[in-house]
Amino acid sequence: MLRIYDTRTRKVEPVTPTAGVVRMYSCGPTVYRFAHVGNLRTYLLSDLIRRVLAARRVRVRACQNITDVGHLVDDAEIGEDKILMQARAEGKSTLDIARFYEDAYRRDCAALNIRQADITPRATETIDLMIELIVKLMEKGHAYAVPDGSVFFAAETFPTYGEISGNRLDALQPGHRVEGVDPRKRFHADWALWKHADRELTWETPWGGVGFPGWHLECSAMSLRYLGDHIDVHTGGIDLRFPHHEDERAQSNSAAGREVVQRWVHGEHLLFDGRKMAKSTGNVVLVQDVADQGLDPLALRLAFMEHRYRQQLNLSWDTLRAADRTLRRWRARVAEWAEYPSAPIAAAYSERAQEAFEDDLDTPTALRVLRELERDDGVAPGAKFETFLHLDNVLALDLSSEIGRAPVLPPGAAELLDQRARAREARDWDAADRLRDELAEKGVKVADTPDGQTWS
């Protein structure tokens, strides 16, 4: 069974189904911009968990929220709603902005073979769940309303706060608003469950006034409603440990009266060319940027899996080009092996890869197993074919996509082949050899025959 690192216990722990089902909640996108490749690495985490469990015939019920209200520019309690800000910048309605970027997110996930969750509730369509949860927390003494209609969670009523991030309540420094510490709070570490506002995207409340939900509240309300008060796995990026997941845990546990989430799993940051991706530094990379470079978007998925999900990854265009070459080579080999008689799966290789997947999603080891299998002349081509396709149920690299298709040259290879043909005609053997090496780097093997050069 799958074993995975639990951020709260700080140990690798087993993922155990409840009544034959693993219930998994994943923090989804705030739909005000295109998802960059760092975001998508985090979303790949939940997809890998689902696929590894499915390989053992374990059913997964997955829920991922769509945040289309409530996420402020400053992840504290001040600033402007990201959706409203982008709608004003683009001169569109908030609904148009949210749906446009939600659709873009789904296309990007499809390009990387990241399966959509079974349930994908939107914040704007589940406000009633959030109001119900706030009322419940108020009745239990975990939340309080203030005169303007805002509601705060009383942090001191949750004594185990900080188990995920290690941040203790008594050590937290007061957060400061522009005019100083928020005087409405009973304790400086309390956070807003509901914010009073006079703006677009607000709702009336039973305790009086209008406003909108706090970002942290959304995930508690949705996960409790759609997965219940026993959630086996909760995933998200490492940046969500604090305050988002600490606040979410406090809200959910206080409402349910029990430890709701069994395993908190976090994916590490992704850098590009040694820097954190940010609009201000101009190094934000999108899936479309990868495609525009002539690379298969699934090369991005392969590059992600070359590192463990909880290791910081420094991606580069050279890394992506190398992954693209590997992807094209494996597809070509699978198409070649498909022409041979079928043979049983190479069990030793398959079991080693499966063990790696189940050992805290050790995808780098699983990929090394495939490379060993590719080079092993003692394994029949038909067995290699079956094994690669069997493991591709988890890898999801579309390794069978070239079967029965005429080979297609990677970008730039046709020009290099033409240059090499002219070099051979001119008897410029040094240039011909150099061009052969350049083609090999693109995954194109060239052979010279009496009738001219051929390639594969």
Over residues 8-47, the pLDDT tens digits come to 999 999 999 998 999 999 999 999 999 999 999 999 999 9
142 is in an annotated binding site: no
Query: Is the CB of residue 334 less than 8 Å from the CB of residue 403?
Result: yes
219 is in an annotated binding site: yes
Question: In the predicted model, what is the mean pLDDT of residues 149-176?
Answer: 88
- Give the pLDDT score at 286: 97
Is residue 407 predicted with pLDDT exceeding 80? no
- Give the pLDDT score at 176: 46
* Helix, strand and coil percent figures for the chain, each rounded to 5: 45, 20, 35
Question: In the predicted model, what is the mean pLDDT of residues 156-168?
Answer: 95
Nearest to 157 by CA among 255, 260, 259: 255
Integer Cα distance of 53 and 21 in angstroms: 10
Integer Cα distance of 310 and 302 in angstroms: 16
- Long-range contacts of range 198-204, CB-CB < 8 Å, 24 or more positions apart? 199/81, 199/84, 200/84, 200/94, 201/69, 201/81, 201/83, 201/84, 201/94, 201/124, 203/127, 203/131
In angstroms, what CA-CA distances link 340 with 331, 337, 388?
A: 15, 6, 14
- For the chain, the C-alpha Rg in angstroms (whole number) is 26
Confidence of residue 450 (pLDDT cuts 50, 70, 90): confident
- Give the pLDDT score at 449: 81
Q: Residue length, the chain?
A: 456
In the chain, residues under CATH classification 3.40.50.620 are 3-267
Q: What are phi and psi of 454, to 5 degrees?
A: -125, 160
Nearest to 423 by CA among 440, 410, 436, 405: 436
Query: Is the CB of residue 394 less than 8 Å from the CB of residue 44?
Result: no
- Give the pLDDT score at 202: 92
Q: Quick check: bond before 450 cis, omega within 30?
A: no
| Tokens found for residue 94 | 């908030």
| Tokens found for residue 76 | 């504290």
In angstroms, what CA-CA distances link 233 with 15, 24, 79, 237, 242?
A: 8, 5, 31, 14, 17
Confidence of residue 284 (pLDDT cuts 50, 70, 90): very high
Model pTM score: 0.87
Question: In the predicted model, what is the mean pLDDT of residues 133-160?
Answer: 97
125 is in an annotated binding site: no
Provide the CATH number for the domain formed by 3-267 in this structure.
Answer: 3.40.50.620
442 is in an annotated binding site: no
Integer Cα distance of 44 and 304 in angstroms: 9
Q: Answer left, alpha or beta for residue 138, where phi above 0 means left and psi between -120 and 50 means alpha.
A: alpha
- In terms of Cβ atoms closer than 10 Å to its own Cβ (0-12, 13-18, 19+), residue 235 is buried
CA 195 to chain centre: 29
The residue ranking higher by pLDDT, 12 or 445, is 12
Nearest to 226 by CA among 455, 375, 85, 64: 64
> Which residues on adjacent β-strands are paired with residue 387?
none
136 is in an annotated binding site: no
